[in-house]
Amino acid sequence: QVQLVESGGGLVPAGGSLRLSCAASGRTFTRYTMGWFRQLPGKEREFVAAIRAIGDTYYADSMKDRFTISKDNAKNTVYLQMNSLKPEDTAVYYCNTSPPRLPWGQGTQVTVSS
């Protein structure tokens, strides 16, 4: 059974940084494009960033200068380094394949205070 477990969220002041992790179990994802998504309060889930099997990355326009996606194939883990956080980045962050095809995990809450 495939399971995605996100971690690393928390409460940070505006301008701060966080590093999110997504550990995948039940399947090796090294051959897949993996992505991060987020759901702002009262909004639909939206794309944040993705990393292809060969390692090239792509981002939503509003985040490409502040966020960095990476992965560790040996650990079957995907990361999202978030810098210069803004209050509007407050959301629950999720990982999945990109496009998403797996059951969603619980996500990790990121709260950025002004």
Condensed to tens digits (0 to 9), the pLDDT of residues 25-59 reads: 887 788 899 999 999 999 999 999 999 999 999 99
8 or 29, greater pLDDT: 8
Residue 108 neighbours by CB under 8 Å, 6+ apart: 6, 7, 8, 9, 20, 92, 93
Per-residue pLDDT at 1 exceeds 80: no
Looking at residue 105, its pLDDT comes to 94
Residue 28 neighbours by CB under 8 Å, 6+ apart: 76
Per-residue pLDDT at 88 exceeds 80: yes
CA distance 84 to 67: 9
